[in-house]
Amino acid sequence: MSRPVRRVLAWVLRRLVIAPLVVLLALAMWLSLPIWVIGTAALSPVVSGRLRPLRFAWVVFVYVTCEALLLVVMFGLWLASGFGWRLRTPYFQGIHYDLVQGTMWVFFLEARRVLRLRIETEGPTPAAHPGRPILVCCRHAGPGDSFVLIHTLMAWYDREPRVVLKNTLSWDPAIDVLLNRVPARFITPNPEAGVDLERQIGELATGLDADDAFVIFPEGGNFTPRRRQRAIDRLRQLGMERMAQRAEQMIHVLAPRPGGFLAALDAAPDADVVLVAHTGLDHMMTVADVWRELPMDKRIVMRWWQVPRAEIPAGREERIDWLFAWWERIDEWIAENRPAELPTGRS
């Protein structure tokens, strides 16, 4: 089966099968609300963690509800735009940014309340980048960090993000629909397709204005020990022994892939760089991981560093070395700032 045919079939499956199923799932969860609330509450005393099954189920319920509402509203916007004719105009893109910002505000407000999380930020304030676009490079450690980062950029920093994400996230129907209507790219990290990926990233980073934030995850995927070792082995295969040795010293992050970041730098010559690290959302890759690792009663810290454009080296090799040095600094910060348990107030 050819690649174009597979893409069409995947699109049909995501839009015409999975998306309606999400809406039906939300309706079913609302109709069965008393049953699963009582059931998870009854299960909570025999599971470790304070009301963990009930709190976990409630967060899932809120997420599915938000997802379903987003899909319904975006279908209405598709109709209002002339069956998609004007969806990519600035007016409708602005509506989509407002829509996702409001939805994420509701979800995070409820999730923080139920999970009893305290999310703190350290580093430059939103006023540190007045009237300048920014390139945001974030450590990648699961889908949770992507959501928190985008929410923070929109709600606290008043930015309109342009995001580069792995194509696996396109199987989330709301993310799929939304990011195909605003400036964004789903990519498949592939060393053999590096030039084409860099071109796509450069195109997305072109024309950033004062309230834009270009978001990229230089590691190219979520951290796992296996991926960390593969990244080190790849550096050695490319004859980059010194970089491989530096990557071996980094325990909590993957060696960054600099190609996409360098393409964004070249495409946005006026943008400052902001680097972001966090703790507390690690290792949530699968449903089982989310159940096991979902943070509850914790203090989560996000650390931001601002680098003015004038301080970024001009040469390609110097920029690669600069990015590796920052990733080493981020690795050290993560080791020193593991998530802290909040007091429960119970003896």
Reported as a single tens digit per residue, the pLDDT across 163-175 is: 988 888 889 999 9
Pair 247, 171: CB distance under 8 Å: no
248 closest CA partner among 217, 225, 275, 277: 225
pLDDT in tens, 46-91: 887 678 889 889 999 999 999 999 999 999 999 999 999 999 999 9
User: Which of helix, strand or coil describes residue 119?
Assistant: strand
pLDDT in tens, 219-244: 887 788 888 899 999 999 988 899 99
Element (H, E) at 24: helix 19-31
Please report the pLDDT score of residue 106 as a whole number.
93
Rg of the Cα trace of the chain?
A: 21
Pair 78, 87: CB distance under 8 Å: yes
Q: What is the DSSP letter of 249?
A: T
d(CA 159, CA 19): 28
107 closest CA partner among 151, 159, 41, 165: 151
Pair 139, 145: CB distance under 8 Å: yes
Which portions of the chain are predicted below pLDDT 70? 49, 126, 141-145, 189-195, 280-297, 338-347
d(CA 191, CA 258): 12
Q: What is the mean pLDDT of the chain?
A: 86
